[in-house]
Structure 1
Amino acid sequence: MVALGLLKKEWNQYRKIFLSVFFGLTFILPIVILLNYIFYQNNEYLQDTFQIRFEENNLHQINSIFVFLLAIYQLGQERSRGTIDFTLSLPYKRSVIYFTKWLMGAMTIVFSIVLNTVLTGVILSVTNADYEGFLGYFSFSIVSILMLYTLVFASGALTGTPFAQGLVAFSAAILPFLLIGLLLFHYGIFVDGNGFNINPNVLKFVILLTPMYYISYIVSEYPFLYYAIPILFTAIFYFIGYVSFIYHPTERNGSFFLWKELNRPVQMLVILLGILGFGSFIYLIFDQTMFGYGLGIIIGALVGYFISSMLLYKKKGGEQK
């Protein structure tokens, strides 16, 4: 259910950020193509046809920054400013508030990319450009950017500050590759004596399970997997954020996680990643010796413990929880 009053409130409150995202997602790529065409026209040494290879440009990552900031402003920044209390006091269920806020951002993203597609298509037609990957680029952009937006938005329903929201979103985006990759590296140390001897098919499977991969690259192989997995991630992230927003406390308390029961499991995960990461790194520095491996595990455990304690168990402003 969409609340029109909430849509109007979101627009009035975040008009500038919505317009910034709209103009960024809509016009950056067409402007870049036009500038490249002008350069092509003015360069007498270029005799070939004007070419555009959509899979080779890096504007997808720039678009991701706009979406990342939009989700931060909608939840993390609103909680930090205290205006979330006003939003929750309105005569709407939390489920309606969460869906309406998410829908406002999602509509902005989809409409902007669709308009970008039309403008780019017109430019390509006028310039008679030779291009590849046009439809794949824009269709996959919608899927992957919506996944990123939903991930960051859901992180805002779990966390108490904008910094925590961004950090949790980034960590979740790389966690499968980081955790499984490090586990495979350590498995290789003990089984094969070589942590880099990882089956390429297994590594590719791990990469496909990592959200950051779909944010970082525009891909054309295995189109079903490359669309199905981000869509599945989007549904999972939305559900997690939806449940968290409804049942977890949303006070502006400066805590890293709004639900304190998450602190201990996350701390154990951070310590585990510290052990795996430093164990691998120092193992390689010490010429792959077990002494370096053991030293890295000890250092990693200490670093993971202190970092997680500083992040999870102190409120904003340094107050102990």
Structure 2
Amino acid sequence: MVDRGLLFKEWKQHQAMLLIISIITVISYPLNILSEYAKYRVCLRNQSDGFNMTCGFILDGTPLHMYFVAGIIIAIIQIGIERNKGIMDFTLGLPFTRKTIFRSKAFIGTLVIWGSQMLSFIFSLCLIGILRPDIENFYTGYLWSTLTCFMLYMLMLAAGTMTGSVVAQLMVGFTASILPMLVFVLIVAHIDMLIGGNAISFIFTLVAHLTPLAYVNTEVIVNPVFVVPLMLTILFYWIGLVCFEKLPNEREGYFFLSEKMNKPIQLLVIIFGIFGVGLFGNITSQSFFGYLVGMVIGGVIGFLLSYFLIFKKSKI
């Protein structure tokens, strides 16, 4: 599965950044608890001075949702930056299979994500035991944030295995994270435009659970369904493993490592541009003529955007 020597090499190679990410993750929510407690004490002092104020010390899991940024940064460090700096060439030259290398990277990233959040959870529990706040969605919030961070980490890792630069990795990862919502909203919005109704609200909940980025916002994912992010994580891991093993390694700055992906993705970008901007033109002008003008503009924007992004080299 993984090799100890390779794990040690991966850790030492990114030790400084991984430690910084771990420390920030560990202390961020405990510091938030102390900050909320300080605000609570200030409120109590103002209340004792005669101000008519209602004071409460309540903690919820909302700040935990920003943990997903740590997973994205780790994936970029492990794949995108390594490729741009040429470190990936050295790593692939070691006497290990590509599967072993990818699994080792995923293992280190998983260890940092789960380990640092577990320590943060323990320290937060200690502070809660001492300060006695009212808590809402604290326990599920930690589990939810860890699964979300882990899922987006695997998604960004998979995006890095099929792209040739950091910018491409970020763009592919972000696009994939909103793709289900984007596709269904466009389809249903056009149906609504043609036959009327309110189909978007009917299908929104179902599509949201298939959209990775939606898990960052608990107002979108009202009822946690833990099995879905787990399944998406497994899917992204498998895609990353296959792409890392099969696709060539190059750092010339092209968007995709495989030229076979260029034209299909360009066509998709143009299609999204046509129907997306066309829909915007219809909404703003309330006319079919505005829809046609929007389609033309969207097609041009989609072509130019995809051409300069996909077929031109990038230095970052």
TM-score tier, shorter chain, comes to: over 0.9
Q: CA deviation at 1:202?
A: 1.1
- Residues 164-196 of structure 1: CA distance to partner in whole angstroms, max 9, x if unpaired? 00110011001111121011101111122x6xx
Corresponding residue of 2:63: 58
- Write the letter of the residue equivalent to 1:50: F
C-alpha separation in 2, matches of 1:173 and 1:3: 31
Equivalent residue runs for 1:249-268 within 5 Å: 249-268=248-267
Return the alpha-carbon distance in structure 1 between the equivalents of residues 221 and 199 of structure 2.
Answer: 24
Following TM superposition, by how much is the alpha carbon of 1:212 offset from its aligned partner in structure 2, in angstroms? 0.7
Q: Percent identity?
A: 35
The residue number in structure 2 matching 1:200 is 201
Secondary structure of 1:58's counterpart equals helix
The answer for unaligned runs of 5 or more in structure 1 is none
Asked if the contact 2:69/2:149 (under 8 Å) is kept, the reply is no
1:256 & 1:217 partners in 2: Cα distance? 33
Counterparts in 2 of 1:32 and 1:245: CA distance versus 1, 3 Å:
same
| Equivalent of 1:302 in 276, 300, 303 | 300
Aligned to 1:162: 166
Shift in Å at residue 69 of structure 1? 1.3
Write the distance in 2 (CA, Å) between the matches of 1:239 and 1:167.
20
**TM-score (ref. length: structure 1):** 0.92
Whether the aligned pair in 2 keeps the contact of 1:174 and 1:210 (CA below 8 Å) is yes
RMSD over equivalenced CA pairs, Å: 1.7
Aligned to 1:271: 270
Secondary structure in structure 2 of the residue aligned to 1:20: helix
1:21 matched residue in structure 2: 21
Native 8 Å contact 2:214 2:220 kept in 1: no
Aligned mate of 1:73, from 72, 77, 102: 77
Q: Of residues 111, 118, 138 in structure 2, which corresponds to 1:134?
A: 138
Q: How is 1:227-246 mapped onto 2 (pairs within 5 angstroms)?
A: 227-246=226-245
The match for 1:211 is 212
- The code of the aligned residue for 1:174 comes to I
| More moved, 33-42 vs 145-154 | 33-42
CA distance in 2, matches of 1:19, 1:78: 18
The alpha carbon displacement at 1:33 in A equals: 0.8
| Deviation for aligned residue 1:253 | 2.0
Q: How many residues align?
A: 309
* Aligned position for 2:247: 248
Alignment match, 2:50:
none
Cα distance change on mapping 1:303 and 1:113 into 2, 3 Å: same
Q: For 1:26-105, what aligned pairs fall within 5 Å after superposition?
A: 26-43=26-43, 44=45, 45=47, 48-54=55-61, 57-61=62-66, 63-105=67-109
Distance 1:184 1:28 in 2: 40
Question: Per-residue displacement from partner, 1:16-73 (whole Å, max 9, x unpaired)?
Answer: 111121012111010111121122123322664421122xx23422x22222111101
What CA distance in whole angstroms lies between the structure 2 residues aligned with 1:216 and 1:250? 35
